[in-house]
């Protein structure tokens, strides 16, 4: 164990402040990171790597974009936090609505966890019902009622649920297999009048990336409308990343092209990209629902650092820079990396499947076809993933340290970054085949 690891473990449980950072899914000792610029991240041993973690999503422009850093410096010089309203937070909320029309009203918070927790509370208050439906493998942050069959770090650790969640907190959470229309319809038939909400990731990306089966999100929307429940679309990870208007926008464009009326969520949660790397998340949605939040309505929600001016400056600068052209570059890098990696694995005869949703993707080693349910995802070869992870590290590529996460690219990833990663995967795949 390095002296850093010893010191970290002597003060931080597991040496980290968020579980997956401990490399519990892949083994080995994480080296602390000291800086990151563009597509590169540098560790304390001076190793520069092409980064595919992107801070788990926010760094869509690449790290430390000069315009974003300048905006943060400028905001910081004017005061770190006021605990009062600012024009910049209004502007960020307007920008979110401009690009994502279902967010008629927006409340800024600091984490995705707060956004989804508040969404559930709001749905319960608005409907006077207690139960809600979530899907196994979807992660919505770590509030008690949502920490059931939650994917993400829990899947990485092999812990399906968290200890410390009381039966009372979880008893109104109905967990269904993702993408299972019959199970969803049956749950509404059985519990319809008690269901306050269905919460779903717009496209699951916390059990690896799963493409929602065609019509699944629309079915959720229809059932919620017919049964008087609230549809909560969690776009914390996919929002302004899977496409310019999140994964909802990907489906909307598809529906419009097919001459179908787009479906719309009642509430939507954002995080990650809208903060550009600083803590900003948001809850948005139908005006009549959102105006039930305090101070207008009876649903309480608050935050000392909500809409923090420095964090909002980072989010605003990031969102302004995130034009369709920039999204196009992210899409190009994601597509060429995804296809290149898959092609290299196929050429070496390595069984794998590709999960893909908008510009998000992940590779499932050992699976013959793209999974939909968490049960199918759990059949992947995590030991092979750990070998791939370490092989890539040795060659200067930082993959997320878990088989249950997306491979995050940014607008700063170049064609030569992609070529290097693909060549490294190809070499690993050959050595796997020969071993």
The region that residue 79 occupies, defined by phi over 0 for left and psi between -120 and 50 for alpha, beta otherwise, is: left
- Are residues 301 and 106 in contact, defined by beta-carbon separation less than 8 angstroms? no
Site string for ligand PMP, 146-175 (x = CB under 6 A): ------x-----------------------
- Are residues 63 and 72 in contact, defined by beta-carbon separation less than 8 angstroms? no
Site string for ligand PMP, 18-57 (x = CB under 6 A): --------------------------------------x-
Identify the residue among 236, 250, 268, 289 touching ligand PMP (CB under 6 A).
236
Quote the CA–CA distance of 358 and 251 in Å, as a whole number. 9
3-class SS at 111? coil
Least Å distance, CB 434 to ligand PMP, is: 37
- Are residues 362 and 405 in contact, defined by beta-carbon separation less than 8 angstroms? yes
Cβ-proximal residues to 15 (8 Å cutoff; 6+ apart), any chain: 5, 8, 9, 22, 30
Least Å distance, CB 30 to ligand PMP, is: 18
**Inter-CA distances, 14 with 23, 90, 189, 214, 400, Å:** 10, 39, 44, 41, 18
User: Is 272 one of the annotated active-site residues of the chain?
Assistant: yes
Identify the residue among 132, 135, 139, 389 touching ligand PMP (CB under 6 A).
139
Sign of the CA dihedral running 98, 296, 133, 191? negative
Compute φ and ψ for 92, nearest 5 degrees: -65, -45
**Inter-CA distances, 401 with 41, 133, 363, 396, Å:** 14, 29, 13, 14
Comparing CB distances to ligand PMP, the nearer of 143 and 335 is 143
Residue 271 touches ligand PMP, criterion: CB under 6 A: yes
Quote the CA–CA distance of 435 and 422 in Å, as a whole number. 20
Identify the residue among 224, 281, 333, 350 touching ligand PMP (CB under 6 A).
281
Selected catalytic residue, list 178, 247, 272, 417: 272
Comparing CB distances to ligand PMP, the nearer of 113 and 424 is 113
Quote the CA–CA distance of 204 and 150 in Å, as a whole number. 11
Site string for ligand PMP, 292-331 (x = CB under 6 A): ----------------------------------------
3-class SS at 419? helix
Comparing CB distances to ligand PMP, the nearer of 209 and 411 is 209
Tokens linked to 7: 């010191």
Least Å distance, CB 52 to ligand PMP, is: 15
48: β partners = 42
User: Is 139 one of the annotated active-site residues of the chain?
Assistant: yes
Least Å distance, CB 279 to ligand PMP, is: 7
User: Is 73 one of the annotated active-site residues of the chain?
Assistant: no
Residue 239 touches ligand PMP, criterion: CB under 6 A: no
Comparing CB distances to ligand PMP, the nearer of 223 and 282 is 282
Least Å distance, CB 136 to ligand PMP, is: 14
**Inter-CA distances, 384 with 233, 365, 419, Å:** 33, 7, 22
Tokens linked to 59: 């760094």
Residue 140 touches ligand PMP, criterion: CB under 6 A: yes
Least Å distance, CB 359 to ligand PMP, is: 15
Identify the residue among 118, 127, 206, 410 touching ligand PMP (CB under 6 A).
206
Catalytic residues: 139, 234, 272
Q: Which residues form the interface with ligand PMP (CB under 6 A)?
A: 56, 111-113, 116, 139-141, 152, 201, 206, 234, 236-237, 271, 281
């Amino acid at each position: 164990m390095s002296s850093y690891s010893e010191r970290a473990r002597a003060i931080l449980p597991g040496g980290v402040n968020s579980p997956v950072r401990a490399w519990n899914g892949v083994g080995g000792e994480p080296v602390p990171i000291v800086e990151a610029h563009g597509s590169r991240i540098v560790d304390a041993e001076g190793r520069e790597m092409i980064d595919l973690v992107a801070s788990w999503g926010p760094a869509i422009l690449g790290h430390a974009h000069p315009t974003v850093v300048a905006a943060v410096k400028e905001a910081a010089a004017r005061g770190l936090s006021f605990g009062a309203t600012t024009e910049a937070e209004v502007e960020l909320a307007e920008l979110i609505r401009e690009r994502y029309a279902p967010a008629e009203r927006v409340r800024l918070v600091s984490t995705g966890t707060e956004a989804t927790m508040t969404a559930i509370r709001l749905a319960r208050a608005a409907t006077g019902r207690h139960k809600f439906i979530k899907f196994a493998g979807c992660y919505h942050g770590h509030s008690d009622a949502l920490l059931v069959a939650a994917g993400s770090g829990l899947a990485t650790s092999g812990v399906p649920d968290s200890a410390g969640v009381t039966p009372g907190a979880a008893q109104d959470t109905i967990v269904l297999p993702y993408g299972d229309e019959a199970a969803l319809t049956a749950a509404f038939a059985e519990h319809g009048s008690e269901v306050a909400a269905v919460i779903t990731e717009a496209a699951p990306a916390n059990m690896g990336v799963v493409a929602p089966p065609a019509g699944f999100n629309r079915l959720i929307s229809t059932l919620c409308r017919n049964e008087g429940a609230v549809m909560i679309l969690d776009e914390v990870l996919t929002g302004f990343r899977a496409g310019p208007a999140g994964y909802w926008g990907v489906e909307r464009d598809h529906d419009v092209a097919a001459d179908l009326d787009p479906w719309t969520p009642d509430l939507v949660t954002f995080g990650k990209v809208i903060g550009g790397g600083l803590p900003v998340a948001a809850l948005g949605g139908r005006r009549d629902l959102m105006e039930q939040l305090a101070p207008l309505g009876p649903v309480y929600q608050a935050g000392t650092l909500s809409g923090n001016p420095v964090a909002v400056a980072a989010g605003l600068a990031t969102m302004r820079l995130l034009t369709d052209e920039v999204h196009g570059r992210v899409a190009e890098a994601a597509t060429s990396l995804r296809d290149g990696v898959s092609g290299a694995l196929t050429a070496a005869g390595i069984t794998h499947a590709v999960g893909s949703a908008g510009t998000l993707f992940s590779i499932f080693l050992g699976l013959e076809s793209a999974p939909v349910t968490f049960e199918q995802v759990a059949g992947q070869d995590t030991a092979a993933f750990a070998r791939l992870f370490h092989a890539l590290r040795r060659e200067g590529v930082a993959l997320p340290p878990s088989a249950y996460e997306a491979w995050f690219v940014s607008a700063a990833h170049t064609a030569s970054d992609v070529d290097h990663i693909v060549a490294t995967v190809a070499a690993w795949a050959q050595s796997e085949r020969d071993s």
